[in-house]
Amino acid sequence: MNIFWIDDRLCGSSYLHDDDCAQMLQQRIKGVVSLRRTALPTNSCICSSFKYCHIPVNPNRRLKVFLIIKILKYLQFIRQVDGRVLTFCFQGCNRPCAFMACYLVSEYGINSREAINRLLSTRKCAFTSCPFSSVVKSFERFLKAPMFLKIFFIF
């Protein structure tokens, strides 16, 4: 397992296996978010040992509106978990990094460029796919938009 931390609460990884459960417990991880297209089997160690959330993200789909709704769901899950949260997909380079950068923009109030650079400093392979860095920029604009535009934007 290849874990990278962005703060004391949130970390990312590439694909997880049941063998990783012991290391995750040792790292005091309480919640797991899968951004893969398919969910983990419900009988897996990860689903039974941790608070689990599956948010399917198709890396080939470029509809930012749907991604922003999924990012809001992701942030809501993180706030509900009392402890550390691990976010993963298949390689751990684009989807988790984009979602975690949005977490930094939302929780720390930093701009999208700072958030992206912070992730690049901890995960060199982050944002190898350009659309995912633009999702962070779109999310930052969404947060700054007036409420009536946010409602229009989502619906």
- The letter for the amino acid at 59 is P
Cα(125)–Cα(114) distance, rounded to whole angstroms? 16
**In this structure, what are the phi and psi dihedrals at residue 18, rounded to the nearest 5 degrees?**
-60, -30
Residues 78-123 have pLDDT tens digits of 999 999 999 998 877 788 999 999 999 999 999 999 999 999 998 8
Alpha helix segments (H runs only) across 1-155:
21-26, 45-49, 64-80, 95-108, 112-122, 130-144, 147-154
Length of the chain: 155
pLDDT at 153 over 70: no
pLDDT at 151: 65
Across the range 59-67, mean pLDDT stands at 68
pLDDT at 92: 75
Domain at 83, CATH number: 3.90.190.10
pLDDT at 2: 80
Cα(46)–Cα(53) distance, rounded to whole angstroms? 11
pLDDT at 43 over 80: yes
Cα(29)–Cα(23) distance, rounded to whole angstroms? 9
Candidates 7, 6, 42, 48; CA nearest to 25 is 48
Task: Supply the range of the domain harboring residue 73.
Answer: 4-154
Structural domain tally of the chain? 1
Residues 6-41 have pLDDT tens digits of 999 999 988 888 888 999 999 999 999 999 988 888
Across the range 37-66, mean pLDDT stands at 83
Across the range 34-59, mean pLDDT stands at 89
Residues 126-149 have pLDDT tens digits of 887 767 888 899 899 889 888 767
Cα(29)–Cα(25) distance, rounded to whole angstroms? 6
